[in-house]
Chains A and B, each alone.
Chain A
Amino acid sequence: MSAAPTAAAPAPPSSTAAGVWRPRKTLRRWLGWAFQGLTIVSTLLGLALLAALLFDVFRDGAGQVDGHFLSSYPSRFPEQAGLRSALLGTLWMLGLTAVIAFPLGVGASIYLEEYAPDTWLTRFIQLNIANLAGVPSVVYGLLGLGLFVRWFGLGRSVLAGSMTMALLILPLIIVASREALRAVPDSLREGAFALGATRWQMVRRTVLPAAAGGILTGTILALARAIGETAPLITIGALTYIAFDPQGPMDLFTVLPIQIFNWVSLPQKGFADLAAGGIVVLLLVLLIANAAAVALRYRMQRRLQ
């Protein structure tokens, strides 16, 4: 900001006739271009890094991904091994975590934004939720181990793992949903009230549809984090070698990141390629989930219009 006035400042005394305003159009235009160039470079840098990462992973791993890889259980022979149990475990966990965390997170954010009075207690709660979003994931793992695995007696089940993950991503969902709700202009709320709507009708018919896009985006980003987390699941005792499909929420399970981690740490060379293949599958699961969310959001927005 400080550079702009200097550039456009009155001409120095050495210049021509006193008081003639010189716009210095070339310099200002040049500065504008330079700034634009910088922003493009920063965009491209991020994209280039992502492309390099994807290229590297796909080069090593894409050849591994085939029907056999997806439908086989782990094996001590790299060429026979697959990640069926880990993939199913990840899908189970993803689904259960979404079912648990989404209503709780959106509910909490609606209360905080639309109902809660603006008191010190509310502000205190809000501050703590924001802080919880920064707590290391291992801490949630320890909480899950004590609370869900041992106290609730859920054992090392998919349900215990999903509940732990739901705890982990709840603050993220709440923070993102609150931002989305806050972005809904008050004029919409006032309009609804003016038409005689109750607070519940106003939230359901006006605010929620308008905020749905932001809420869904926040939830998907939070779930994406849950897919990649390993530490809390290892803490609650998710297993490494599983050669059967999870039969229900109370069954034992493993997930893709744990399977990848396990393959990376084995001495035999073939497993490193399998790990790359596992990463490709993990990325695909993530991309499919994201695409589904984008499609859902698009449909909701169109309905709103």
Chain B
Amino acid sequence: MRKISRRRMLRAAGMGSLAAAGAAALAACGEAQAVTKEVPVERAAPQIVEVTAPPGPMQGTILVDGSSTVGPVTQAVAEEFQKQFPNVRVPVGISGTGGGFKKFCIQETDISDASRFIKSGEQDLCAANGVGYIELPVAIDGIAVVVNPQNTWIGDSISVDELTRMWAPEAEDAVTTWGQIRDGLPDEPLLLYGPGTDSGTYDYFTKAVNGEEGASRGDFTPSEDDNVLVQGVAGDAGAIGFFGLAYYEQNKDLLKALQVDGGQGPVFPTVDNVLSGAYAPLSRVILIYVSTQAAERPEVQTFIEFYMKNAANLVGSVGYVQLPDEMYETALQRFEERKTGTVTALEGVSATPNSVMEAWKAGA
């Protein structure tokens, strides 16, 4: 009885208007639903090099996990690979470079995506569990340093020394305005944005700028989602941030990328400059690691062959710069010869395709 009387009261007090509002909202939803979908644009399918499978059934599951930077490359390769070999399943996880190695080194995955070279601690973990690995570079990524377009005072370039002044651990709570970065800049507040500490991009940037992996001030705004960083920098005139070049390329209208002066004069992050290594020290080789146990399986062998033969065509579509063809060929050769271990001398240093090739030659 109580229920009925309460309802009646409400209705008397203007339930009608409420129902009207609800109906209006529903109608609005209906209208939005009716919006026609844009006709899908047929993109020119990239030329895929098919590979010949070894005799016998091609099936199985190839487990991949690791860096969110490399993930899209491996996903693109997996997508095309599964068109040719529908019975091979290639799921890709995104746990970050470090998280990926933690799983890889206890044999939970077959391939690990990495946006930096394997660290000594991770090498030890793999060794302790008897996991050998073959290191294969797949593309180059530049790290863009971006500011808000309203930031006119910084000019077009920034030097690595200035970046160090900005990001050094000692700068925490001390360096808070642009005026402290370079003489003559206004005392505008300095707001820093960067990827979270689990990301290989953060590791790489801190090593290149502050000399030690993971060493940086703590009072910056971190996000694992690079689109959040884009929005952060785009929303504040005093902001500066860094992330993968692909995110700058997709948001050119919101951001201004700076030329970076690593001692050889300011260089803009273009495809050519990243490939040649001129955009130093903020360009890096991104890689995959294949476990030697997994490399014995025919589907993994075929997948790696497919990866190395098609990476050049596919990395561009997900925003990265392809390596020279010669490098993919050499990498595939090294895989077939089961050359294990890492080019340790390059750990954390600005690795250009040339320096990797030289290290391979020296090691071979």
- Residues of A participating in the B interface, judged by any CB pair closer than 8 Å: 33, 36-37, 40, 43-44, 47-48, 51, 54-55, 58-59, 62-64, 66, 73-77, 79-80, 237-244, 252, 254, 262, 264-269
**Number of residues of chain B lying within 8 A (CB) of chain A:** 54
Asked whether, in the complex, the Cβ of A40 is within 8 Å of the Cβ of B14, the reply is yes
A66: chain B residues within 8 A (beta carbon): 37
Which 8 A-B residue pairs are closest in the complex by CB-CB distance?
A51-B25, A241-B92, A79-B40, A267-B250, A62-B33, A239-B93, A59-B32, A239-B91
Given A66-B37, A252-B61, check contact A243 B21 (CB 8 Å).
Answer: no
Residues of A within 8 A of B37 (CB): 63-64, 66
A66 to B18 Cα, complex, angstroms:
32
Q: Report whether B29 and A58 are in contact in the complex, using a CB–CB cutoff of 8 Å.
A: yes
**A240 and B78 in contact (CB under 8 A), knowing A44-B18, A51-B22?**
no
Mask: chain B, 1-29; 1 = CB below 8 Å from A; 0 = not? 00000000110011000100110010011
In the complex the two chains form, what is the Cα distance from A1 to B76 in whole Å? 66
Instruction: With CB as the reference atom, state the residue of chain B lying closest to A266.
Output: B72
10 pairs, A vs B, C-beta closer than 8 Å: A44-B21, A54-B29, A63-B35, A76-B317, A239-B92, A241-B93, A252-B61, A265-B68, A268-B250, A268-B319
**With A55-B28, A63-B37 in contact, is A77–B65 under 8 Å at CB?**
no
A258 CB to closest chain B CB (Å) equals 9
B318 within 8 A of A: yes
Distance of A218 Cα from B349 Cα, bound (Å)? 55
How far does the Cβ of A148 sit from chain B's closest Cβ, in whole Å? 14
Chain B residues near A265: list those with CB within 8 A.
68, 224-227
- For B76, list chain A residues within 8 Å (CB): 76
Which A residues are CB-close (under 8 A) to B151? none
Chain A residue nearest to B28 in the complex (CB): A55
Question: Which A residues are in CB contact (< 8 Å) with B41?
Answer: 79
The answer to whether residues A267 and B249 also contact, given A241-B75, A262-B94 and a CB cut-off of 8 A, is: yes
Chain B residues, Cβ within 8 Å of A268? 250, 319
Is there a chain A Cβ closer than 8 Å to B95's Cβ? yes
Interchain CA distance A239-B68 in the complex, whole Å: 12
How close is A63's CB to chain B, nearest CB, in angstroms?
5
- Which residues of B are found within 8 Å of A63, using beta-carbon distances? 32-33, 35-38
Q: Which of A73, A240, A242, A269 contacts B250 (CB 8 A)?
A: A269
Residue of chain A at shortest CB distance from B36? A63
Residues on B with beta carbons closer than 8 Å to the beta carbon of A242: 91
Residues on B with C-beta less than 8 A from A241 are 71, 74-75, 78, 91-93
- Judge whether A244 and B225 touch: CB under 8 Å: no
- Point out the residues of chain A lying under 8 angstroms from B72, CB to CB: 76, 266
Contact A267 B247 (CB under 8 A): yes
In the assembled complex, B293 has its CB within 8 A of some CB on chain A: no
B43 contacts the other chain (Cβ, under 8 Å)?
A: yes
B289: min CB distance to chain A, Å: 18
Contact in complex: A48, B227 (CB < 8 Å): no
Chain A CB within 8 A of B346 CB: no
